[in-house]
Amino acid sequence: MKTRVLTGVLALTILAAFLAGFHSSQGSPQPVGAQISLNQETVNQQTVTLAGQVVNRTDGATLEPGLRVTLHSFSQTSGVFLSQDAATDESGSFLFPDVELLQEGGYAVTTDYADTRYSTLFRPEDLDEPVELVVYETTQDISVIRVVHQALILTEVDPSKQMITAAIFVNLSNESDRTLLPDLTNVGPGRFSFLRFSLPPQAEELDVQSDLVGGQIIPTGSGFAMTAPVNPGEHNISYSFRFPYQGNALSYKQSLLQGADVFQVLIPQRLSEIQVETLEPMPPLNAAGASYLVWERAELAPGQGVEIELANLPRSNLLSRWGRAATDASFWQIALPSAMGAVLAGLLIYGGVLRLPRALAGDAAVPGRASSEPTPPGRARLIGEIAALDDGFQKGGIDPATYASRRAELKALVLNPGADQSNQQDNPEAATETTSPGITSGGPDR
């Protein structure tokens, strides 16, 4: 018996999903002709007569006879799908004779009324009871919607990417006797007839789930809108997303365009270091085998919203920050030239050290002969000037043209030592002018 119930529920779920695909909240009803898929299960099957009535629950409303009603039958085991139509009489009653009893099946009666699809689901064992299909007149007044409870739940925080994964659960109610039917042709300030929800800045990977049938999800400037009709009664909507943060804190405004009787922020105990500083702390909550810290604000009017301030968010460590930065193109635009400059400076110093013994040996071997290379202190002075020039340029004290010209000149003097000596012999005061603008260095070598 348990297996039969479970498979029956599965059949109803599949049937409901199928019916949702036929829904059209705007425009004329989608035609569904009589369809019969025959296989062994439909041969010699027992049949019953299904009776029912369409009832308009809007106060003072009446129904015209001749409203088309469709019965859908689906067998989860065999894949059989049957559809047949009937019309209502003056009292709203309808009759389906010869309804096949399908094994492990599910049934649905649907009708399209006032641009909205209404349906009711039931199992084979319910076929001997009359079916009541309730419909309503429509309204475009969004004030019929009341958000009973809205909860923001942080499900994961990734410090290495500084990304928060969250979900929002909304329980709302249409407490009127009319279906809210969005009108997308009459939109403007104060004229919205559809549900709207906000998201944190730079939110991504939005996934919306709802028990509302039909309509669309429409992105808006700060969140999204839902154009599905909202029948009288309670409904549930949930949506998940990811959004970034910086440092160890985050602040943003959570708009509540439909208001909320109660708004909560829930954080798992494993992330207990995170605090919500703008809401009132409440006792911890246990749900679905997990424990949550809770913060709350109540009686929020439509459009009021709340400021969400998250503190003590986990920071990424130095290694993860460097790894994240290393994937950024701007990092390499800075790092590569800096690395090349460091390598060049190292080569120049290395070359000076290698040539020092050779220069000393040459001077000692030929007394009185002028060396073609600058003395080691002269080379050290040039390298020091290059380093000082680089430092001044990185600090913004030297314009790029002057920097490039002077650096090329100093580099040429290091690589061609004879030019430096020749310049000093022709112009003894030149050595005192080798410093870059804005950089102070020592005097010439003595």
CB 108 within 8 A of CB 115: no
Domain ranges of the chain: 2-135, 142-316, 328-433
Please indicate whether residue 158 or residue 371 has the higher confidence score (pLDDT). Answer: 158
CB 57 within 8 A of CB 177: yes
Please indicate whether residue 397 or residue 331 has the higher confidence score (pLDDT). Answer: 397
CATH architecture of 2-135: Sandwich (2.60)
What are 260-297's pLDDT values in tens digits?
999 999 999 999 999 999 999 999 999 878 899 999 99
Encoding tokens for residue 315? 């920071």
Lowest mean pLDDT among 18-22, 81-85, 208-212: 18-22
Half-sphere exposure of 327 (CA within 13 A, CB side): 7
Lowest mean pLDDT among 27-41, 112-126, 242-256, 428-442: 27-41
* Residue 196, pLDDT score: 93
Q: Are strands 163-174 and 233-244 parallel, antiparallel or unpaired?
A: antiparallel
Distance separating alpha carbons of residues 174 and 141, to the nearest angstrom: 11
Question: What SS3 state is found at 230?
Answer: strand
- Residues making up the chain, counted from first to last: 446
Question: What SS3 state is found at 368?
Answer: coil
Note whether 2-135 and 142-316 share their fold. yes
* Residue 4, pLDDT score: 35
By CB atoms closer than 10 A (0-12, 13-18, 19+), residue 200 is buried
Confidence band for 361, pLDDT divided at 50, 70 and 90: very low
Q: In one letter, which amino acid is 180?
A: L
What are 232-269's pLDDT values in tens digits?
999 999 999 999 999 999 999 999 989 999 999 999 99
What are 171-186's pLDDT values in tens digits?
999 999 999 999 888 7
What pTM did the predictor assign? 0.62
The mean predicted confidence, pLDDT, of the chain is 77
Domain at 142-316, CATH from 1.10.20, 1.10.10, 2.40.10, 2.60.40: 2.60.40
* Residue 132, pLDDT score: 96
